[in-house]
Structure 1
C-alpha cells in the first residue's frame, strides 16, 4: 500500500538520490549537498513510499499567493503508470489551491506533455486567448 509523507527528513536522503538516479536525473545527484539544500529551501515536498521504499516525490516552491512552481515530480520507472505521479501532483494542487498560477518547466517529451495536459495544464506554446510568454535563463546551458 502506498503512503505519502510530507516530511522528507524522516527518510534517508540516500533514498531520494537513488530515485533521482533511477529516473535518469543524475545531474541532480552529482552534488548531493546542493540537492539537499534545494530540498531544505523548498516550500513543500511530498514523498510516495511503497513497502518502506521511496517510489516517487514532488517538490514545489511558492510564495503561497500568486505563484506555485512545481520543481520536481519523479516516479520510479517500475512504479510509473500506476497513478502515483497523478496522486502527487493532485496533492500539490490541493496544498496550493489558493495560488493563482501553477507552473511547470518540463522536457519536450510526448509522455510528459500528455501527462500534464491530462491534469489541466496548458502548454504556453499553444495559448491564444491569453498571450503568455515564458522566459528561461539557465546557468551553464546554451539555450540557442
Structure 2
C-alpha cells in the first residue's frame, strides 16, 4: 500500500467529517462551522492519503518549543493497524522537535494504543469540560 503523507494540507471539511464519523472519533461533526474553526485554528495538520482518498488525519495545537497538544488522531477503519497513526505521530515529533512534549487526551477505546506508540500514561492531568 503506497500512502502519501502531507503536512498542512487541509482536506475539504466534508472529507474530514466523513473520516471522523467512520473512525468513531467523538467530535462535533454535526456542527460544520465548528469543525471548520477547529482546523482554521490548528497549528499542525498531517494527513494520510491513499491516492485521492483521505485515510488518516492528525491535528495539533502547539507553541513549537515546549508543548504540542495532539488534538485529533483519526484513521479510517479499513486502514487501522497499518501504521498510519504511528507514522503521523512520528511526523509530529519530527516537525515540533524533540525539545517539545507531545500530549493528548485519549478516547477510552484508544487507551491501549498510545503506550504501544511511545506515549507514557500520566496520572497528573486536569481538565475543565466544555459546555458543548
TM-score by length of 2: 0.90
Residue 63 of structure 1: how far off its partner (Å): 0.9
* Range moving further from structure 2, 100-109 or 88-97: 100-109
| Residues 78 and 124 (structure 1), Cα distance of their counterparts in 2 relative to 1, 3 Å cut | same
Trace 1:30-109 onto structure 2 (pairs within 5 A).
30-109=30-109
Bigger Cα Rg: 1
Q: Which has the higher helix share?
A: 1
Q: Taking CA–CA contacts closer than 8 Å with sequence separation of 6 or more, which of the two structures ends up with the larger relative contact order?
A: 2
Q: CA RMSD in A?
A: 1.7
TM-score with structure 1 length normalisation?
0.83
Structure 2 residues not aligned, in runs of 5+: none
Q: Residue in 2 aligned with 1:22? A: 22
Aligned length: 131
Alignment partner of 2:111 out of 110, 113, 119:
113
Partner residue, 1:2: 3
Deviation at 1:115, TM superposition (A): 2.1
Q: Secondary structure at 2:90's aligned position in 1?
A: helix
User: Could you say what secondary structure the match of 1:124 adopts?
Assistant: coil
Q: What stretches of structure 1 move > 4 A for 4+ residues in a row?
A: none
Tell me the SS of whatever aligns to 1:60: strand
Unpaired runs of 5+ residues, structure 1, are 126-132
